[in-house]
Amino acid sequence: MRRHFPALSDIIEHYARGTRHGISSDPKDGLLHAGEPGVQLTWMDAKVGGWVVTPRIGKPVEVNALWYNALRAMAEFAEALELDSEPYRVRAERVRAGFKRYLCPNGEGLADVLDGPHGDDLSLRPNQILAVSLAHSPLGLDEQAAVVRTVGERLLTSYGLRTLDPAHTDYRARYEGGVVERDSAYHQGPAWAWLLGHYAMALYRVSGDAQVALSLLQPLRDHLCDAGLGTISELFDADPPHTPRGTPSQAWSVACTLHAWCQLEQARRMQAKSSVGAGSVGSSHAPDPRPSRRGAGDGIVVVTGAAASSTGAGRRVREDGR
């Protein structure tokens, strides 16, 4: 850690001061602003000719969730190395306060982008789930639970999270056709598998129930025999029967699923062990990556629709429409 800390610190400073593509920290709220016309800068990077399908210029919600998490992690690294952690904590607190601007007035999740060329983009997209799934969240407990509930009710499928609310006028349920048709739909509805691991971790953060969160990953286990043998596809059609699409073996689909599965399985085993010792399933000794989040949600309200049905076998889930 001591060897790499200077490089990490340099990365933070360059993001804060500013770099290419309009990336810089806004001194007013501490949030990162990024993007410029004609450039697809975030992971939603589809471009058809000169048309950037999802430009997301401004302050993307997942970028700032990652920014806050990075600042908190750097503060912890500094303390471990007996260095001054205060600059990172001050920045993180400014970002945490600024992050409140993402809260939608109707209480249904977070805005996708702030301060864009045309104002704030309140489109319901899955990017907000990173504000709960990561190790450090800038949101309060009730706010985290509201994000998980909203995403679970409107974006969750058995194999991933839809990239856009089905109620949106630009929603495209299927990823099919020629290059133009596919790329224009890429992040406008189809469910991406890498996001399911983040949703499972977010559900665990607010409920503390590792077993229920782990069950969300079961359909992907069945999918190992569906497309690329022994691996996970890039994305799935947003509507039933959720046909696998894109590359049949996507590295981040596999990595995010494995990461979530490893953490949740370890937590489940330790919860089971502590339950035996304490004589109750709800033992307060059960481990949690962030114990302060326990009790923010009840683990039942947020497990609805696709989440409830995904506890069964993947093929059965696909056949019953979820």
For the stretch 297-318, pLDDT in tens is: 333 233 333 333 333 333 323 3
3-state secondary structure of 302: coil
Note the pLDDT of residue 314: 35
Residue 294: is its pLDDT beyond 70? no
Q: Which of 35-39, 154-158, 229-233, 275-279 has the lowest mean pLDDT?
A: 275-279
Percent of the chain exceeding pLDDT 70 equals 86
Average pLDDT over residues 18-37: 95
Chain segment 205-240, per-residue pLDDT in tens: 999 999 999 999 999 999 999 999 999 999 999 999
Structure tokens at 173: 């349920």
Chain segment 166-189, per-residue pLDDT in tens: 999 999 999 999 999 999 999 999
Among the listed residues 3, 134, 2, 5, the one whose alpha carbon sits nearest the alpha carbon of residue 74: 5
Task: Give residue limits of the domains in the chain.
Answer: 1-147, 156-322
Residue 107: is its pLDDT beyond 90? no
pTM of the model: 0.86
- Rounded to 5 degrees, φ, ψ at 321 are 95, -5
Q: Give me the DSSP letters along 178-238.
A: SHHHHHHHTTSSPEETHHHHHHHHHHHHHH--HHHHHHTTHHHHHHTTTSSTTS--SEE-S
Task: Please give the span between the terminal C-alpha atoms of the chain, in angstroms, as a whole number.
Answer: 44
Residue 288: is its pLDDT beyond 90? no
307: CB partners within 8 A, 6+ apart: 152, 156, 203, 216
Q: Which of 206-210, 255-259, 267-271, 288-292 has the lowest mean pLDDT?
A: 288-292
> Is the separation of the CB atoms in 175 and 237 below 8 Å?
yes
102: CB partners within 8 A, 6+ apart: 61, 64, 110, 111, 114, 128, 131
- Exposure pattern of 209-220 as b/e (b: 16+ CB <10 Å)? bbbbbbbbbbbb
Residue 279: is its pLDDT beyond 80? no
Alpha carbon distance 63, 86 (integer Å): 22
Structure tokens at 158: 């058995």
Alpha carbon distance 262, 294 (integer Å): 20
Mean pLDDT of the chain: 88
Note the pLDDT of residue 312: 33
Hey, how many other C-beta atoms are within 10 angstroms of the C-beta on 137? 27
Q: Binning pLDDT at 50, 70 and 90, where does residue 111 land?
A: very high
Note the pLDDT of residue 278: 63
Percent of the chain exceeding pLDDT 90 equals 82
Q: Which fold has domain 1-147?
A: Glycosyltransferase (1.50.10)
> Is the separation of the CB atoms in 194 and 183 below 8 Å?
no
Note the pLDDT of residue 74: 98
